[in-house]
Each structure stands twice: as C-alpha cells, then as structure tokens.
Amino acid sequence: MSTTSIPAQHHHDVPGDGGPAGFTRVPPQDLDAEQSVIGALLLSGSPGSSARFFGEILATGIVAGEYYRPAHAVVHRAVVDLHAAGEPVDAITVAAELTRRGELARVGGATYLHACVQAVPTAANGAHYAEIVRAKAYRRAVIESAQRIVEFAYSEAGDEDEVRELVEQQLTAIVAGTPGLHEAPPVVGDLYLDFVADLEDVQDGRKAGLPYGFADLDALTSGMRPGNVSVVGAASGVGKSTFALNAAVAAAKTGAPVMFSSLEMSANELMQKIAAAEGKIPLHHLTLQGGLTAEGWETVRRLGPELFRSLPLRVYRPEGASLGDIASAARACARAGGLALLVVDYLQLVEVEQSRSITREQAVASVSRGLKNLSVELDCHVIALSQLNDDGLMRESRAIKNDASVVIKIERPDAEERESARAGEVDLKVEKNRFGPVARVTVAAQLHYSRFVDMAHT
C-alpha cells in the first residue's frame, strides 16, 4: 500500500535522546493506515452491502483529532457531519461538502479523495486500519504528556506537591486512554439524542445515582451523581461521620468502588464502626476489653466472607492532611479499578499550601474547589463533611455551599434536650439540592450501633 499523492506536511518533531545536535525523531504515525481509513469511509458511507463497514469504523471510537495528518482530520469531520445529517458519503459528496466549507484545496483536492479510495484494498478492513491510527495517536499523546512532565520539572516552577500532581494527572490520563480533548466541544444538536436516551433511562428507573442508603433522601436527591459534591454539615458529636460511613457502605454494596478518607479516625476505628452497624453489635462491645460475647464473635467472623471480603470500599488515613495526599490516593484508586464515591472527613482538617496573604476561609475554599475539580476529573461523587460553628452555621460556608450540588445539615433534637419528645430522631435538612426540592428528612439514630436507619426500620 502506498500513500498516493500525499501533499507535504509539517511534522511535529520531538527532540531525540543522546543523538547528535539537531537530531529529531518523527512522532509515531501511519499515513498509509490513515489514508486507508478515509478510503474505507468513502467506500462504505452510502447505503449498500458495504454500509456496515462504515459503522464498524466509527464504532472504534476514532475521531478527527487522532489523525497525524491535518488534511485527514478535515476529511473525517466532513464525513461524520454528512453522515449525521443523513446524507450519503462518498468521494463526490465529501468533495462537495469540502468545497462548501472552503477546505477542498486544503486536503489536496478531489483528486486526493479518489486516491484514498483507490489506495484501500477493501472497506472490510477499515476498522482494523482505524485501530492502527488510534494506537499511533495514543503513543503521540503519551509522548506529549511525558514532555509536559519533563518541561515542568526542568522549569523548577512550583513545589514538589505540584510536580507530583502534574505527574499523576498526566499518568491518569494516559492509563485511561484519554490524554486530552483535541476537538471543539459538541453543539447541543449533537447532544440531543444522547440526552433523550439518558432521560428515558432516568424516567424508567434504569439510571439513578448511588444510594445514600436512606429511602426518602435518595428519592429527594436522586442519589449521588458523578461529577458532583454533597456537603454534610453537623456540630461535633452529632453523627456526620456515622452518616457518611453508612452512605459509603450503602454505595459500596451496589458494587460501586468507594474510598473513605478520614483525618480523624484510624482504619481500625472505621472497621469497628462498620462491623457495629452491619452486624448490629453495640460499638462499645468492640472497643472494651472482654466486651464481645460469643455471639458477637460469631457475627464478626460471619461478616468477613459475607461483607468485608467482597465490599469494594477502601479506607485511607493519610500520613499528612493535604488535599494533594487525598487526590493522589483517589487517582490511585481510579487507576486500580475505578472510583465512584470519595468521602472526605472532614473539610476543615484538610490542609492546603498557605501563604501569609491567604485567609482561613480562602484556604478552605481552595480545598472545596479542589474536591469539586477532582469529582469532575475522576467522574466520581464526593461527600465532604464540614464542621458547624456553635451558632449552627457551616464554617467558611460560602465557598463550600457554592461548590456543592447538595448540602445536608444533620440535627439531633435530643442533642441539647435529653427529654425531647423526638428522642432518637435525626433530621437531615437538605438546604441545597440541584436535583430537586429542599426538604427535611427524618431518620432514626442507633448510635450504639454506629448507624442511622430509615424510620420504617426502627
């Protein structure tokens, strides 16, 4: 196969290692394969016996930005746009479309389109050629990511945490196979069909967020959705960590990978709370010498194979308390098997790099914004716990609430009034809800088991 009539182009050369001065290496590419993909698309883009090959090529996920030669990217965009409009795709219709756009001469004219058709042996191999093109594009993306790391390291800009964060971001993108967005974002017309399909799934109950584990709260918020943050605020001792751990376990029971990062409790303390909640073992039986009965021991043994060995819940107690440490661990989870939910206990304990000119409120705002960005980057939901002041207001509340999609304040009527008629009840006050109304959800506190439950389960 030959690259017939390929016009000259500029290569994006990469400096070589250890070679003579001026030595350059051409990035990974296969222009024969690129030309064959274009030819196969032009051969199979009209109704007929070979039309299925067109769909097979696009099903590989190939996009215009993955071609090394810019002219091929231009042709690919025209092909995809014609197909989306329901028009036939062949050398003549694509030439007409490129003429309309004023881009025909840029790709080498109609002659080059026909040359692509003649160069491809058979449209049946189009998907294979597309995979070759994608593989070369991926290698180029790896090189670009590595160059960013090298250049940043040589620049001596930033501190060690910033260098590590850049390295992790680039490596995460490389492993995920999505090194960057090279095309303009889609217009709403292109998004409409996906929107309708998603809407059907939501309306038919096939798609919902991860459960918090409380029926009324899940119905009110539609659960925990990727790319969003829930902020849970409570005064000290009311039970925000208990609520968050209950939610983490409920989400993990669906098979969703979860990471619980605690800056207050050790991994063993968290395990005690999970065992108490799931086994209905009084927490103090697990923490006091000789407190566990024979029946309690049997329950602990049973929880091993029935719960803990299959629960995709990771517990992380960072050595430090920096946002970078938490983000690093979260990215490692994403690489190791995915991450659907990240819990951070709690916001005011997370540290960021502070200068003399930054206030405490600005520091916490930086943490809040960092967690929001992390939820989008890793396509996961984040539960961020927040301490309340004595006056019931969330500390550094403005920025925290701005970044949150859902804000829940936990209140226990019997916390201040022991003889309250509502003893044992807990109010989950949903003060912000981007997915529905705000409301008050009442659940029951079984703190001796380290859990909250729906009122119907009491």
* Same domain flag for 109 and 213: no
The count of structural domains within the chain is 2
CB-based contact 307:326 (threshold 8 Å): no
Mean pLDDT of 276-291: 90
CATH number of the domain residue 44 falls in: 1.10.860.10
* Same domain flag for 452 and 334: yes
Q: How far is Cα 307 from Cα 232, in angstroms, rounded to an integer? A: 26
Please name which of 134, 123, 135, 120 lies closest in space to residue 35, comparing C-alpha atoms. 120
Identify the pLDDT of residue 151: 86
Identify the pLDDT of residue 3: 41
Task: Establish if 374 belongs to a structural domain.
Answer: yes
CATH number of the domain residue 427 falls in: 3.40.50.300
Mean pLDDT of 280-296: 89
Identify the pLDDT of residue 177: 65
Task: Establish if 362 belongs to a structural domain.
Answer: yes
- Given a cut of 50, is residue 2 above it in pLDDT? no
Task: Establish if 261 belongs to a structural domain.
Answer: yes
Mean pLDDT of 148-155: 85
Q: If you count DSSP H runs as helices and E runs as strands, how many of each does the chain have, helices first?
A: 16, 11
Identify the pLDDT of residue 161: 78
Mean pLDDT computed over every residue of the chain: 83
Q: How far is Cα 342 from Cα 373, in angstroms, rounded to an integer? A: 13
Which letter, b or e, does each residue of 378-410 get, where b requires 16 or more Cβ atoms within 10 Å of its Cβ? bebbbbbbbbbeeeeebbbbebbbebbbbbbbb
Q: Which tokens hold the place of 411?
A: 């209140």
Q: How far is Cα 150 from Cα 199, in angstroms, rounded to an integer? A: 44
Q: How far is Cα 278 from Cα 295, in angstroms, rounded to an integer? A: 14
Structure-model confidence comparison of residues 260 and 319, the more confident one: 260
* Same domain flag for 325 and 225: yes
Structure-model confidence comparison of residues 395 and 371, the more confident one: 371
Q: How far is Cα 451 from Cα 446, in angstroms, rounded to an integer? A: 5
What's the half-sphere exposure (Cβ side, CA atoms, 13 Å) at 211? 13
**Which of these three, 128, 147, 166, is where a domain ends?**
147
Task: Establish if 187 belongs to a structural domain.
Answer: no
Where are the alpha helices (H) located in 308-391, listed in sequence order? 323-337, 360-377
Mean pLDDT of 86-103: 92
Q: How far is Cα 64 from Cα 75, in angstroms, rounded to an integer? A: 8
pLDDT in tens, 69-94: 999 999 999 999 888 887 889 999 99
* Same domain flag for 122 and 219: no
Identify the pLDDT of residue 401: 80
Give Rg (Cα) of the chain. 28
Which pLDDT band, with edges at 50, 70 and 90, does 149 fall under?
confident
Q: How far is Cα 327 from Cα 352, in angstroms, rounded to an integer? A: 12
**Which of these three, 147, 171, 189, is where a domain ends?**
147
- Given a cut of 50, is residue 22 above it in pLDDT? no
Which pLDDT band, with edges at 50, 70 and 90, does 7 fall under?
very low
Domain region containing 56: 14-147
Mean pLDDT of 161-171: 81
Identify the pLDDT of residue 116: 94
CB-based contact 424:244 (threshold 8 Å): no
Helix axes of 31-44 and 70-84: crossing angle, nearest 10 degrees: 20
- Given a cut of 90, is residue 345 above it in pLDDT? no
Which pairing describes strands 313-316 and 439-446: parallel, antiparallel, or unpaired?
unpaired
* Same domain flag for 126 and 258: no
pLDDT in tens, 23-69: 467 899 999 999 999 999 999 887 765 777 888 898 888 999 999 99
Identify the pLDDT of residue 396: 55
Identify the pLDDT of residue 18: 40
Structure-model confidence comparison of residues 97 and 394, the more confident one: 97
* Same domain flag for 364 and 238: yes
Identify the pLDDT of residue 251: 95
| Alpha-carbon torsion angle 275, 277, 281, 287, nearest 10 | 60
Mean pLDDT of 265-279: 91
Identify the pLDDT of residue 391: 55
Mean pLDDT of 160-173: 80
Q: Which tokens hold the place of 444?
A: 């029951």
Mean pLDDT of 224-228: 92
Which letter, b or e, does each residue of 177-191 get, where b requires 16 or more Cβ atoms within 10 Å of its Cβ? eebeeeeeeeeeeee
Task: Establish if 152 belongs to a structural domain.
Answer: no
- Given a cut of 90, is residue 10 above it in pLDDT? no
* Same domain flag for 216 and 295: yes
Could you tell me what percent of the chain has a pLDDT over 70? 88
Residues present in the chain in total: 458
* Same domain flag for 221 and 81: no
Structure-model confidence comparison of residues 298 and 86, the more confident one: 298
- Given a cut of 80, is residue 185 above it in pLDDT? no
* Same domain flag for 217 and 102: no
Task: Establish if 380 belongs to a structural domain.
Answer: yes
Q: CA torsion sign, 318 to 319 to 325 to 330?
A: negative
* Same domain flag for 99 and 225: no
- Given a cut of 80, is residue 359 above it in pLDDT? no
**Which of these three, 98, 130, 147, is where a domain ends?**
147
- Name, in order, each residue with C-beta under 8 angstroms of 313's C-beta and a sequence gap of 6 or more: 248, 249, 252, 258, 259, 260
138 prior amide bond cis, ω within 30? no
Structure-model confidence comparison of residues 417 and 294, the more confident one: 294
Task: Establish if 271 belongs to a structural domain.
Answer: yes
CA distances to 17, 28, 66, 144 from 21, rounded to whole Å, are 10, 21, 30, 21
* Same domain flag for 426 and 317: yes
Identify the pLDDT of residue 11: 41
- Given a cut of 50, is residue 9 above it in pLDDT? no
Please name which of 299, 275, 305, 298 lies closest in space to residue 287, comparing C-alpha atoms. 275
Task: Establish if 167 belongs to a structural domain.
Answer: no
Q: CA torsion sign, 240 to 300 to 318 to 289?
A: positive
* Same domain flag for 141 and 241: no
Phi, psi of 311 (to 5 degrees): -80, 120
Phi, psi of 286 (to 5 degrees): -85, -15
